Amino acid sequence: MTLHKNYIGGEWVAGVDASVNINPSDTNDVIGEFSNASREQVADAIGEARKALVKWSGYTTQMRSDILSNISIELFNRKEELGELLAREEGKTRAEAIGEVARAANIFRFFAGETVRIGGEKLASVRSGIDVEVSRDPVGVVGIITPWNFPIAIPAWKIAPALAFGNTVVFKPAELTPASAWALTEIIAKAGVPEGVFNLVMGSGPIVGQAILDGVDAITFTGSVKTGRSIVQRATERMIRVQAEMGGKNPLVVLDDADFDTAVFCAVDGAFFQAGQRCTASSRLVVTDGIHDRFVEAVAQRLDKLVIDHALKAGTQIGPVVDQRQLDQDMRYVDIGIREGAKCRVAGTTLKRETPGFYLSPTLFVDTTNEMQINREEIFGPVASVIRVKDYDEALSIANDTEFGLSAGICTTSQKHARHFQANIQSGLSMLNLPTAGLDYHVPFGGRKGSSYGAREQGRYAVDFYTIVKTSYLAV
C-alpha cells in the first residue's frame, strides 16, 4: 500500500505512524496509508515556515500570482481524476466532487488576481511636511485546520489567500480525508513554491492540531463548534489572530405564497443533498399553516425517490455518510427525535447496497417544536425537521431562535417579506428562493452568533485576516 508522507520544509517526511483511509461507499476499498506527524515534526514545519517567510514575502506579487495560477490550472486540468479521489474518500457524488475541485481551482485563480491587486492608501497628514501611508504586511506563519466535508475547497479558500498575501502555511487536514489534501499538496509543491513556504502535517486534532496552535502566528479553523471553541480559547491565550467557522442549525422558511416547486426543491436540495453534511444545510424547515400539509407530502414523495448508493455509481444522487461514527450520530438523533415526540414522516434507516458502506436514507420529522433537541443541535446528516407556524412573524422569530447564525433562507413571492427577512435574519448568509447551501467563491462567507468567530473568509474580505495593517509616517 502506498504511504503518503507529510511535506515539511520542501521534503516528503514519514511520520511516527500511519492511518489507513477507507472509502465510505465501499469499506473494502482502501485508498492508501497516510503518515501521522509527531509534535516535533509539527514544530519543525513551523520552523521551516518561519525561515521561509522573508523569501516568500519578498517574491514580487507577479511571481506569487503566477504560482497560484499554476496551481489553479493543474486543478482544472485534473478535476475529473481529483474529483473521483475526493468522492472515493468523502462519499459525495462524482458530480459534486468534480464541482468541488473546480471550485478550488477557481479560488486559486481568484487569489492569483488578488495577489497583484493588493493595495494601500496614501493620505495627507494633519501636520505639515509629513505623508501617511497605510499598507498591509503578511501576518506570518498561518496554521490551517480543516474538516472532512469539503476536503479540497475549504483548504483552498484558506491556503490561496494565505499564500497570496505573503504568509507561509502549516496545514492539517481532517483525519478522514487526507487524500485530497495530499494531492493538493503535491500540486502546490510542484507549482514553484519555495521550500518551507507550504507544509502539510497530517494526524489527529489533539496532537497535530494542538502543536500547530502552540507555534503559529495566526490560526484559521473550520469544523465543529466544540473544537472551534477550544481553538479560539487557546489562540486568545496566546494572543494570536484566530478565525473559526463552525456549525449551523440553518432555517428554511416556507410561506403560503411561495412558488411551490421552488420551495420543495430548496428543501430537498438544501437539507438532504451531500447527505446533509454541509454546514449550510437546512435542518429546520419552518413552514406556514396554509402550505404545510401539501409541502410535507411533496417533500416526502421526493425523498422516497432519491437514489442513495455508491458515490461513484452513475445515477447516484446521494452517497453514504462519511463514517460509522457519523452514521451512529445521525441514528442517535433520530432516536432522540422520536423520544421527544417528533413524528417521522420519512424514517431514516441504514441501507444495504452492492458494496458495504455507510448508507443512510433521509429522515423527515414533522410535528416538531423549536425547543426539541433535534432542532437545537447540529446533526450533520440527512435529517431535517418541519416546524409548523401560523405566519411570517412567527416564522422569523423561530428562525432566529437558535444559538447559530450561518445560513438562512426564505421561499416567498412577497417582496415585503423577502426584504424584511433579509434585513432581520440573524445569519451571515441570507437566501431568497434558493437552498441555504450553495455559494459563490468570490464573495465573503461566514456566520454570526455561535457559527463563526473572527474575520470573514473568501472573496476580497479575506485580506483582512491574512494581513496586518501598517501605518507609516514619512517626513517629506
In sequence order, what E strands does 211-309 have? 218-222, 241-245, 250-254, 282-288
List 89, 114, 245, 457, catalytic entry:
245
Nearer to ligand NAD, 65 or 277 (CB): 277
Helical segments of 273-353, H only: 289-305, 324-339
The one segment of 44-52, 110-118, 201-209, 268-276 that binds ligand NAD by CB under 6 A: 201-209
* Closest residue by Cα to residue 91 from 359, 352, 364, 363: 359
Does residue 48 have an active-site annotation? no
Burial of 73 by CB count in 10 Å (0-12 exposed, 13-18 middle, 19+ buried)? middle
Instruction: Please report which helix (H) or strand (E) contains residue 297, including its range.
Output: helix 289-305
Nearer to ligand NAD, 59 or 148 (CB): 148
Please identify which residue in 4, 94, 103, 172 interacts with ligand NAD, judged by CB under 6 A.
172
Q: How far is the CB of 334 from ligand NAD (least distance, A)?
A: 18
Q: How far is the CB of 175 from ligand NAD (least distance, A)?
A: 5
In the stretch 112-151, what mask flags binding to ligand NAD with x, by CB under 6 A? ---------------------------------xxxxxx-
The C-alpha cell of 51 is what? 525561515
Q: DSSP labels for 246-259?
A: ----EEEEE-TTS-
Nearer to ligand NAD, 74 or 96 (CB): 96
The one segment of 158-166, 167-175, 285-293, 296-304 that binds ligand NAD by CB under 6 A: 167-175
Instruction: Please report which helix (H) or strand (E) contains residue 409, including its range.
Output: strand 407-411
Contact 434, 266 (CB under 8 A): yes
- Considering the rule CB under 6 A, would residue 21 count as an interface residue with ligand NAD? no
CA dist 454 and 457 (Å) reads 9
In sequence order, what E strands does 353-406 have? 359-360, 363-366, 383-389
Q: How far is the CB of 300 from ligand NAD (least distance, A)?
A: 26
Nearer to ligand NAD, 148 or 165 (CB): 148
CA dist 177 and 410 (Å) reads 33
* Closest residue by Cα to residue 145 from 224, 247, 28: 224
- Considering the rule CB under 6 A, would residue 19 count as an interface residue with ligand NAD? no
Nearer to ligand NAD, 105 or 281 (CB): 281
- Considering the rule CB under 6 A, would residue 171 count as an interface residue with ligand NAD? no
- Considering the rule CB under 6 A, would residue 61 count as an interface residue with ligand NAD? no
- Considering the rule CB under 6 A, would residue 223 count as an interface residue with ligand NAD? yes
Question: What is the phi-psi region of residue 78: left when phi exceeds 0, alpha when psi lies from -120 to 50, beta otherwise?
Answer: alpha
In the stretch 273-312, what mask flags binding to ligand NAD with x, by CB under 6 A? ------x---------------------------------
Distance of CA 163 to the CA centre of its chain: 19
Angle between helices 61-77 and 79-90 (to 10 degrees): 70
- Considering the rule CB under 6 A, would residue 206 count as an interface residue with ligand NAD? yes
Q: How far is the CB of 431 from ligand NAD (least distance, A)?
A: 15
Q: How far is the CB of 36 from ligand NAD (least distance, A)?
A: 11
Nearer to ligand NAD, 333 or 392 (CB): 333
The one segment of 23-31, 104-112, 242-250, 466-474 that binds ligand NAD by CB under 6 A: 242-250
CA dist 169 and 160 (Å) reads 10
Q: How far is the CB of 417 from ligand NAD (least distance, A)?
A: 26
CA dist 417 and 381 (Å) reads 30
The alpha carbon torsion through 73, 77, 80, 86 (nearest 10 deg) reads -40
Nearer to ligand NAD, 65 or 230 (CB): 230
Residues of span 401-440 touching ligand NAD by CB under 6 A:
406
- Read off the amino acid at residue 37: A
Q: What are phi and psi of 234, to 5 degrees?
A: -65, -40
In sequence order, what E strands does 349-466 have? 350-351, 359-360, 363-366, 383-389, 407-411, 429-432, 452-453
Span between the terminal Cα atoms of the chain, in Å:
65
Nearer to ligand NAD, 70 or 274 (CB): 274
Q: How far is the CB of 451 from ligand NAD (least distance, A)?
A: 6
Q: Give catalytic residues, as residue numbers.
A: 245
**Interface residues toward ligand NAD, by CB under 6 A:** 145-150, 172, 174-175, 204-206, 209-210, 222-224, 227, 230-231, 245-248, 279, 378, 380, 406, 451
